[in-house]
Amino acid sequence: MAVQITTPRHRSLRSSLVPNYLVLIFLTFFALAPIVILCFNSLKSSSEVGRNPLGPPQAIQWQNYPRAWEQGGFAVTTRNSLVLVVGTVAGVLLLGGSAAYSLARLRLPGGSALMLLLLVISTVPLQLFLVPLFFLWKNFGLLNTHLGLILIYIATNAPFAIFLLRSYMVQLPADFEDAARVDGADELQVFWKVVLPLSWPGFLTVGLVVALGVWNEFFLATIFISKPDLFPVATSYYKFTTRFSRDWALTSAAAVMMIAPVLLMFLVLQRRFIDGLTQGGMKG
């Protein structure tokens, strides 16, 4: 009897999901249509953008891409961005990872005070320490250097990384570490040879989130890098759009080149991206 009652109920529930799908399709359209239009425009000629601003291209102009690559100096800016991404990710994983290891595994005395400090640091707004930091970096000769910007990125990304990696390492079984210690490994070797390989999913998540953040970052890059040949893609693209503000086809092609690697990575590692970003949601 009970089965008979619930089965039609389920069926009626499923049929009532049609309005849900309609709303979702509309919202998905709202989220994706601007990106699709961007891709369309990147393949039009300038005059076609004027005639046909939103629709698909009628005559595909692949040459917008090499032209934007050339004019936007992408060869240089991509390399600059990669230096920033790799340097920051390596620094965050190494310094944040070792701090997380100490908090999770080495019974750090004063560990809870350190966690509180991390919480405070992650809520201190950039705007508070920005001005003195700028002039400090100027005195250190770190303005207009990738190293200077990387150091700031590491510091601002580390609290989130430490929280996430610590919570990951706490769950690991201690047996492997103890076995390594019995075999005479010191803590550095245990960290390097045992904990790092075991907690790679946590490291991968943090690495992806930090890499995305650095690739997209604009505010600090604008302030700390003012030499065009050191620009990362984001600030260079901004200058590019002010220089070619009327050439929508060209700026669209440049935009697609900047977001293509991000979108590809996202499509491949979707769940890891979403989980990592929502856990780092405190970054605002």
> How many residues of this chain bind another protein (CB under 8 A)?
89
Question: Is residue 17 a contact point for another protein (CB under 8 A)?
Answer: yes
CB of 210 to another protein, least distance (A): 13
Q: Which of 11, 27, 79, 243 binds another protein (CB under 8 A)?
A: 27
> With binding defined as CB under 8 A, does residue 54 bind another protein?
yes
Within a 13 Å sphere around the CA of 215, how many CA atoms are in the beta-carbon half? 19
Q: Is 219 in the site for another protein (CB under 8 A)?
A: yes
258 touches another protein (CB under 8 A): yes
Q: Minimum Å distance from CB 95 to another protein? A: 4
Of 162, 206, 211, 225, the one binding another protein (CB under 8 A) is 162
- Is 196 a residue that touches another protein (CB under 8 A)? no
Contacts with another protein, 30-49, as mask; x by CB under 8 A: xxx-xx-xx--x-------x
Report if residue 116 touches another protein, rule: CB under 8 A.
no
50-74 exposure pattern, b = at least 16 Cβ within 10 A, e = fewer: eeeeeeebeeebeebbebbeebbbb
Are the C-beta atoms of residues 122 and 279 closer than 8 Å to each other? no
One character per residue 74-113, x = contact with another protein (rule: CB under 8 A): ---------------------xx-xx-xxx--xxxx----
Closer by beta carbon to another protein, 8 or else 125: 125
Stretch that binds another protein, among 59-67, 125-133, 163-171, 172-180 (CB under 8 A): 125-133
Beta carbon nearer to another protein, 4 or 127: 127
To the nearest whole angstrom, how small is the minimum distance from the Cβ of residue 266 to another protein? 6
Minimal distance in Å, beta carbon 83 to another protein?
Answer: 17
CB of 53 to another protein, least distance (A): 4
Angle of helix 146-170 relative to helix 97-105, nearest 10 degrees? Answer: 30
Per CB under 8 A, the list member of 113, 121, 147, 179 interacting with another protein is: 121
Q: How far apart are the first and last CA of the chain?
A: 52
